[in-house]
Structure 1
Amino acid sequence: MISVETLKKRSLERIGEVHMEVKKKVIELIDAAYEEGIAVQMSSGYRSHTQQAAIYGQGRPGYHWNGVHYGSAGRIVTYAEPGESNHHSGRAVDFFLVSPEGNEALWVVDSRWRRVAALAKGLGFSWGGDWKSFKDYAHLEWMEAEKWAVVLKAGSSGPAVRILQKQLADLGYPLGPSGVDGRFGPATMQAVKMFQEKEELAVDGSYGPKTRTRLKMRTYTGVLKQGARGLAVGEVQRRIGVSVDGSFGPKTKEGVKTYQEQHGLEVDGMVGPKTWRHLFGK
């Protein structure tokens, strides 16, 4: 039978920058299933907005996001558009079973699959197979994440801090010479304070629930232009003062142009990194 260490190695390579506690629980799940003779492997974890667009496009041949075509044939596998998936937060993973030799992926939701789901729930995950509407049998989501990932502060370190630092850097907040290093030092604290002050939040330099929610809303998702749809478009519409419907149409384009003219930006009617940073950055 394939070794448990190989299953762990493959899984850790695929889940990417998930939170440390999720990574620990994934290892525990693989071990627990292996003890019962079940080989389980993770297929994905953290996803960028672009990766989510490609997945959302499956089963939607005409789907475009940020003016780029991501649609493809096949069956629909998710209803979460870019910016709406919990995979962005680093607290969700997907799994599948593998053959005893480890050379074949097994996607049949049988008693062994459900046993893995039960083991995962015992470790604190919720399971997409329990959802009332769209069933996602491969999806596991760490339910306790809000308790341990809520507050990042001076002295914190790891993937969650790196994700925070990258979000701040993308918005133009300075992180000092160390940059994105996964360590919550004085420069990161100061950047968080600057963000909190701009967003009229409590300025304490720690990354708690309100700061996290607001920063997630402000994180740059890529160029937005006519034809784009989604939550990010709605946030832009709120900021430039046009009707909020989440659809980047002609009126939104004109509103962006007006904003760009007023603030000395290149007037192209698209929300690229400079316009986004001016809208939501420091």
Structure 2
Amino acid sequence: MTIGLKELLEKADKKLQGVHPTVAAKARQLVSLAYKEGIPIIITQGLRTIEEQNALYAQGRAKPGKIVTNAKGGYSYHNFGLAFDFAILNANGSVNWNVDDKWKRVGAIGKSLGLEWGGDWTSFKDYPHFQYTFGLSLADLRSGKKPPTQSPQQKEEKEVNKDDVKGHWAEASIKKAMEKGIIKGYSDGTFKPDEPVTRAQLAVILDRLGLLK
């Protein structure tokens, strides 16, 4: 049984419902990068409710089974949509739960994407686990603090990719100038590439170029 990247990503999308958009995007990127290296992975868990977390915590304690987490409800980044779990697939479609070099390679790929890997933890190694915390502690999240809806990179990409620039004859130059912070668009999400430049705007541009002493 050979599973393709498209199917892996479709399966991932189902598991990533409710996960923060930035974290979900990193999870999909992880699936793609691992697949390119010949390591098919599936996303097994995304958002987990407090009730589900407490039930998982009870496993191996109040309920039969192996202990798989030390986190009670509200004490896992899963509960706030900032974590996901994965597993590696064998060629026959079964899951390989044996931690080997492939698992460690996926861990390294995830870390290259800025994710924190549970396989690096010392007190309780959680090899299937990745999280992206935005610098927020669990106490912060329990108190009601929220992560940004977009990462700084996503905000920058949105700023550069103005809809009314697409297809314009100066599109490449405009984007290059915006990426370098020389010019910016309007607050309504447009750039208005054919609008005349005022003297005030020109002064700001010259100042950003370091031409005003």
Give the TM-score normalised by structure 2.
0.62
Larger Rg: 2
1:99 to 90, 94, 104: 90
Q: Which residue is equivalent to 2:10?
A: 9
Distance in 2 (CA, whole Å) between partners of 1:5 and 1:33 is 13
Distance in 2 (CA, whole Å) between partners of 1:111 and 1:36 is 12
**1:55 to 2:56 alignment:** yes
1:124 match: secondary structure: coil
Letter in 1 for 2:31: I
Distance in 1 (CA, whole Å) between partners of 2:148 and 2:34 is 32
Letter in 2 for 1:98: L
Q: Which residue is equivalent to 1:87?
A: 78
Cα distance, 1:100 vs structure 2: 2.5
Q: Which residue is equivalent to 1:140?
A: 130
Q: Which residue is equivalent to 2:105?
A: 115
Alpha-carbon spacing, 1:14–1:150, altered in 2? closer, same or farther (3 Å): closer
Letter in 2 for 1:20: P
Identity within the alignment, %: 38
Distance in 1 (CA, whole Å) between partners of 2:148 and 2:28 is 24
**1:32 to 2:29 alignment:** no
Question: What is the aligned residue count?
Answer: 140
**Would you say the 8 A contact 2:59–2:65 is kept in 1?**
yes
Unaligned runs of 5+ in 2: 137-145, 151-213
- Superposed, which structure 2 residues align to 1:117-266 within 5 Å? 117-144=107-134, 150-151=147-148
Distance in 1 (CA, whole Å) between partners of 2:101 and 2:113 is 19
Cα distance, 1:150 vs structure 2: 3.2
**Would you say the 8 A contact 2:85–2:128 is kept in 1?**
yes
Cα distance, 1:151 vs structure 2: 4.1
Q: Which residue is equivalent to 2:209?
A: none
Distance in 1 (CA, whole Å) between partners of 2:86 and 2:127 is 9
Letter in 2 for 1:134: F
Letter in 2 for 1:56: Y
Letter in 2 for 1:125: L
**Would you say the 8 A contact 2:117–2:130 is kept in 1?**
yes
Distance in 2 (CA, whole Å) between partners of 1:26 and 1:145 is 18
**Would you say the 8 A contact 1:45–1:93 is kept in 2?**
yes
Letter in 2 for 1:150: P
Distance in 1 (CA, whole Å) between partners of 2:118 and 2:28 is 19
Distance in 2 (CA, whole Å) between partners of 1:26 and 1:151 is 18
**Would you say the 8 A contact 1:124–1:143 is kept in 2?**
no
Give the TM-score normalised by structure 1.
0.47
Distance in 2 (CA, whole Å) between partners of 1:137 and 1:40 is 13
1:41 match: secondary structure: strand
Letter in 1 for 2:89: V
Letter in 1 for 2:147: V
Q: Which residue is equivalent to 1:217?
A: none
Alpha-carbon spacing, 1:28–1:8, altered in 2? closer, same or farther (3 Å): same
1:22 match: secondary structure: helix
Letter in 1 for 2:73: P
**Would you say the 8 A contact 1:91–1:145 is kept in 2?**
no
Unaligned runs of 5+ in 1: 63-71, 154-282
Distance in 1 (CA, whole Å) between partners of 2:86 and 2:49 is 18
Please give the root-mean-square deviation of Cα atoms over the aligned residues, in Å. 1.8
Q: Which residue is equivalent to 2:69?
A: 78
1:97 match: secondary structure: strand
2:43 match: secondary structure: strand
Give a deviation string over 1:187-207, Cα, whole Å, max 9, x none.
xxxxxxxxxxxxxxxxxxxxx
